[in-house]
């Protein structure tokens, strides 16, 4: 496990140098995603037993659970899409649908960064915010509602860089939704799969209608 971890780490360094040069604005997506993953693994491990982190983060489903989790993943994607559409209508009514800013920033990313945005980024965000933070706060407060609200608020705060009110609001409610699916299934798989699919569709339509 330790050798495999070192090899993966070295491989990621090579990828970083090749596709995500330091100083390039697009590179931040990659490095922030890696940071989220590293922090989630570090915080959820019982030193020096890093191997237990995936289990704590609900990343080790049993084979017999996979069909059910895939179904929950599809349901989470549909639910997040409906929720986003509903929020968009409400925000549009109040003149707060400023998603053009988000689309502009999205289109400024390089192709490798766009790929990271619907692969590594959802993995890192779900590991940190739902896999670790949501569950840790719930353990401390004995309240899943409080944990969902606080972890989703922190998740939304990390979207401040978009300078979009709509992005903050949508991120908060999507965070709550993914907390529900994580709690309901006792797995991070539906949240990761739905998050990745949602980001892919968002990027696809942003590029298609640019």
Give residue 135's Cα distance to chain centre: 15
pLDDT in tens, 186-200: 999 999 999 999 999
pLDDT in tens, 159-172: 998 889 999 999 99
pTM score, whole prediction: 0.90
- Alpha-carbon distance 98 to 91, whole Å? 9
pLDDT in tens, 58-111: 999 999 999 999 999 999 999 999 999 999 999 999 999 998 888 888 888 999
- Alpha-carbon distance 97 to 70, whole Å? 32
Q: Residue 22 has which token pair?
A: 């330091």
pLDDT in tens, 50-70: 557 788 899 999 999 999 999
Is the pLDDT at 143 greater than 90, yes or no? yes
Q: Phi then psi for 147, rounded to 5 degrees?
A: -65, -40
pLDDT at residue 48 in the model: 53
């Amino acid at each position: 496990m330790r050798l495999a971890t070192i090899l993966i780490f070295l491989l990621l360094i090579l990828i970083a140098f090749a596709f995500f040069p330091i100083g390039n604005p697009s590179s931040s997506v990659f490095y922030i995603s890696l940071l989220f993953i590293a922090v989630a693994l570090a915080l959820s491990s019982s030193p020096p037993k890093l191997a237990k982190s995936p289990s704590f983060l609900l990343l080790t489903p049993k084979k017999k659970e996979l069909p059910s989790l895939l179904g929950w993943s599809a349901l989470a994607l549909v639910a997040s899409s409906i929720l986003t559409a509903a929020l968009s209508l409400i925000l549009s009514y109040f003149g707060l649908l400023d998603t053009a800013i988000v689309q502009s920033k999205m289109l400024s990313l390089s192709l490798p960064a766009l790929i990271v945005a619907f692969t590594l980024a959802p993995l890192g965000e779900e590991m940190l915010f739902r896999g670790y933070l949501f569950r840790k706060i719930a353990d401390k407060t004995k309240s899943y509602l409080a944990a969902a609200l606080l972890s989703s608020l922190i998740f939304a705060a990390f979207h401040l860089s978009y300078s979009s009110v709509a992005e903050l609001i949508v991120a908060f409610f999507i965070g709550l939704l993914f907390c529900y699916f994580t709690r309901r299934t006792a797995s991070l798989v539906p949240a990761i799969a739905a998050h990745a699919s949602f980001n892919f569709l968002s990027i696809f339509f942003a590029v298609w209608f640019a």
